[in-house]
Amino acid sequence: MISCDSIISSISELPETPDGGAFNDKDPCSDNFKLPNLRFTNSAYSFDTSFEVNQRDVTLEWDVVNDQGTTLEFDYNFEYRYAAPGESIASQNWQAISSGQSSFSIPVLNETFGGEQYTYEIFAEYIPNDSNCQRKDTTFTGQFSVNAIQSRGFLFNPYQISSNNDGTYTAEIYLDEIQESDDLTAFSLVLNYSEALLTVTNVQVFGETGSFLNPDGSNTLVYVQPEITSNFITIEAGIAGNNASISGGGAICEITFTPTGSFQGNTSLTIHNTSVLKSSQGFDIDILQFDQAEVIQ
C-alpha cells in the first residue's frame, strides 16, 4: 500500500515545467517570461542590420512576433526617439506613440555620406492586467542610412535650412552619385534665390585636403569670384592636375545669406538647370538631379 507521504514526496521531486511555476516563460506574470520581438512590416527594413531609406522621410511600422516569426496580439505601450548623424541619441527625448499604434514617422531626412547613420530606439513596455504581476520592458535599437538622391547631380544638405545664431542662413551644397568614369574636372553651379528676401554675404568652396574635390591633397582647386546677378548666383571651379579621382558624393561649397527686411516665413533655393559638370576632355557630364531647399524663418 502506497502512503500519502510517498506520493507527495514523489511529486515534490518532479522538475517544474513551463506550464507550472518559476520556469514558465509563457506566462507574463513569470519572472522568466520572454517579451516578444518586433519585426518591421517593410521587409527591406531590419532591427538586426543597418538598412537604407530611399526617400526624404520614413515611416517605421512593425508587428509583434514570437521567435518563430508568428504575428502576436500583444499589448505593448511604445515610445520612440531618434538621432541624426553626429547627434547623441541619449540626449534625445522619448516621444509617446498612441495606444494601439505600432509606428512612427520621421518627416525630414537628410542624405547621409561616408558611413553616416541615423539611430533609432523603440521602448516597449508591457503592463499586465493583473496587478500582482510586474511591468516588463525592453528596448529595440537600430540604424539606417539615407540615399534619397540616386541620380547624378547637385543637392542641398540639409534641404531645410534654419537660421544660424547670428540670424544668417547657410546653404551647403553637395555633389552626389559621381562615378570615377565621369572624370569630373570642373563645375558651374547656378543657384536661383529671391534677392528681395535674401542677400549673399559669403561663399566658400571646399578644396582643402580631405574634401570631396580634393580627397588626398593632390588636387588643386581653382575657382573664380562668384557671379551674382538678379536672383542668381553662379559658382565656377575646376581641378588643376586632377591627380586624385573623384567618386561618390560630398560637400563642394556653402553659401551664406542674410535675410532682408522683407523676409517673412519661408523661401526656396533651387539648383538651376543651367548648371554644368565637365570632364577633363571638356565634355558635359549629364546632370540628372536639380535639387531644391527651403529656407525657414
Question: In this predicted structure, what is the pLDDT of residue 115?
Answer: 93
On whether both 170 and 291 belong to a single domain, the answer is yes
Structural domain tally of the chain? 2
Range of the domain at 142: 35-146
Q: Is residue 114 one of the residues assigned to a domain? A: yes
> In terms of domains, do 166 and 281 share one?
yes
Q: Within a domain: residue 110?
A: yes
Whether residues 131 and 164 fall in one domain: no
Nearest to 39 by CA among 63, 15, 8, 73: 63
Note whether residue 27 is domain-resident: no
pLDDT in the model for residue 242: 61
**CATH code where residue 85 lies:** 2.60.40.10
pTM (whole model) above 0.85 = no
237: CATH? 2.60.40.680
For residue 247, what are the contacts with CB-CB under 8 A and spacing of at least 6? 178, 179, 180, 182
Q: Looking at the structure, do residues 104 and 161 belong to the same domain, yes or no?
A: no
169 and 221 housed in the same domain = yes
**17, part of any domain:** no
Claim to verify: residue 226 and residue 268 sit in the same structural domain: yes
Q: At which of 85, 113, 146 does a domain end?
A: 146
Task: Look at residue 10 and tell me if it is in a domain.
Answer: no
Predicted local distance difference test score (pLDDT) of residue 27? 75
29 located within any domain:
no
Give the per-residue pLDDT at 22: 47
User: Tell me, what's the pLDDT at 6?
Assistant: 41
Mean pLDDT by runs of 10 across the 297 residues of the chain is 40 41 64 90 96 97 94 93 97 96 97 96 91 89 96 96 96 96 95 97 95 91 92 94 84 97 95 95 92 95
* In a domain? residue 6: no
Residues 157 and 250 in one domain: yes
157 and 281 part of one domain:
yes
